[in-house]
Structure 1
């Protein structure tokens, strides 16, 4: 690759990171201005869920050829995926006896989360394998900003099906595939269950009839809504809301995982973990 192309790629990554940070900052500023607390925001998300899926089922969306989750999925009784952590929300990785917890917050539609997973995801898990900590994966759905956007919840519900049918290994493998094939944020293509199922075929052994049924029926949509509400309520050790994704906390203390040009390197992530107390 020429030095010019390399420079252009760095510029593109820098601009995407700057744009995403600005978007999240505007969202946090608006919430503070309106005086909406985390509990109220969570209630708004839950109340909006039924409207979101009813809207998509009505065919009002411009993508009428997409396969949609049934309109009543959000109103179904809560079903928690098997293999989820004891809190019913997070996905565990590592030795459960390890008292040091690394909390990773991400959104399936977040482009910076994709960059972080691709740059540091393997190192994050390798350090857990070495006993440095155990991981709790938290998933946000705040990028579903309007009634016409619900790909974060639909993708999270599909991840819940992967966790339910294949355990944590299939969940992580599918999450990696989703990030590798993450659509442009404006398209919201994760709302298409056919697309999610096509991607599931890339994970050996995942696309079983039971998995496909759970994805198409939106079995874990209520769980996805609950998980999104938990993110809205989550705070770090400093008492401040998590605020955006990706966010990584070790023992409740925030780690610096982003630079002006993108995620830190795996080496720098490991050094950040060693410095943390």
Structure 2
């Protein structure tokens, strides 16, 4: 298969995934309004392979009493977390002087991003430690599909607080914990600040009064909104939009990090990096 055909197949898979998620979100919202309890949601497609992963979700309206970030948080003045990259958006890892840049795009609510982090996250950082490249982590919030969803934005704002209070090591440790405890996409449980704060307790030294205040007040929600918009505008070296998560670029060129069964193995990721160099 040519690289062009491969890319077209991936784009088609991404479009099917987006359409499936939008249809599921509309069904879930309608059933909540009708008072119907739990609903089964299937067909979460792999972003670049077109393979279907089975899943389920609840639309019971369990979030009515959640602890939410203040409604006006997004309109407050922009505050950028300490330790963010010089662009004010991305999170850096590795030698800042390395000319090669690995760009990783992910959404906190993306189930396939979770799989990629758990499979290849350590390898991504190991190769950076070896000097193959430096990493720039980019975040998306496109899975907050409707006005009453905010889980991606809330989780990203909490990650901003981790970056602000504990630097990149705490950010990475917290991101790993959030993925390990990621709720089903349709529940939007990350929108409840009590849940990310509960998970922060799994990262030694992270859950300080200052961190908790930044999360509950939504201090970095404007930053999360700005970061999400930057993702929407981002393009690869081929001039086409990033389009979905997870997406990984090396010096702007797309890497093939997904297979028919999920993310590539760490050895496959390393081989893809070598191929693209």
* Residues paired across the two proteins, number: 228
Residues 251 and 25 of structure 1: is their aligned pair in 2 closer, same or farther, counting only changes over 3 Å? farther
Does residue 232 in structure 1 map to residue 232 in structure 2? yes
Which residue is 2:133 aligned to? 133
Which residue is 1:185 aligned to? 185
Shift of 1:21: 6.4
In structure 2, C-alpha distance between the alignment counterparts of 1:181 and 1:124, rounded to whole Å: 21
* Equivalent pair of 1:237/1:253 in contact (CA under 8 Å): yes
Does residue 22 in structure 1 map to residue 13 in structure 2? no
* Equivalent pair of 1:20/1:112 in contact (CA under 8 Å): no
In structure 1, C-alpha distance between the alignment counterparts of 2:148 and 2:242, rounded to whole Å: 25
Which residue is 1:90 aligned to? 90
* Equivalent pair of 1:102/1:134 in contact (CA under 8 Å): yes
Shift of 1:65: 2.1
Gaps of at least 5 residues in structure 1 are 1-17, 29-60
* Equivalent pair of 2:14/2:243 in contact (CA under 8 Å): no
Which residue is 1:15 aligned to? none
Which residue is 2:58 aligned to? none
Shift of 1:96: 0.3
Shift of 1:148: 1.7
> Greater RCO between the two (CA within 8 Å, min separation 6)?
1
In structure 1, C-alpha distance between the alignment counterparts of 2:118 and 2:179, rounded to whole Å: 8
In structure 1, C-alpha distance between the alignment counterparts of 2:257 and 2:18, rounded to whole Å: 16
Shift of 1:86: 0.1
* Equivalent pair of 1:140/1:227 in contact (CA under 8 Å): yes
Superposition pairs of residues 53-202 of structure 1, within 5 angstroms: 63-202=63-202
* Equivalent pair of 2:107/2:140 in contact (CA under 8 Å): yes
Deviations 1:114-161 (A, max 9, x none): 000000000000000000000000000000001121100000000000
Deviations 1:167-205 (A, max 9, x none): 000000000000000000110000010001000000000
Where do 4+ consecutive residues of structure 1 move more than 4 Å?
18-21, 25-28
In structure 2, C-alpha distance between the alignment counterparts of 1:124 and 1:232, rounded to whole Å: 23
After TM superposition, the score normalised by the length of structure 2 is: 0.80
Gaps of at least 5 residues in structure 2 are 1-11, 23-60
Does residue 214 in structure 1 map to residue 218 in structure 2? no
- Over the aligned positions, Cα root-mean-square deviation in angstroms equals 1.7
In structure 2, C-alpha distance between the alignment counterparts of 1:148 and 1:258, rounded to whole Å: 31
* Equivalent pair of 1:139/1:156 in contact (CA under 8 Å): yes
In structure 1, C-alpha distance between the alignment counterparts of 2:230 and 2:105, rounded to whole Å: 11
* Equivalent pair of 2:101/2:134 in contact (CA under 8 Å): yes
* Equivalent pair of 2:197/2:207 in contact (CA under 8 Å): yes
In structure 2, C-alpha distance between the alignment counterparts of 1:19 and 1:204, rounded to whole Å: 39
Higher share of residues assigned helix: 1
In structure 1, C-alpha distance between the alignment counterparts of 2:14 and 2:253, rounded to whole Å: 22
After TM superposition, the score normalised by the length of structure 1 is: 0.80
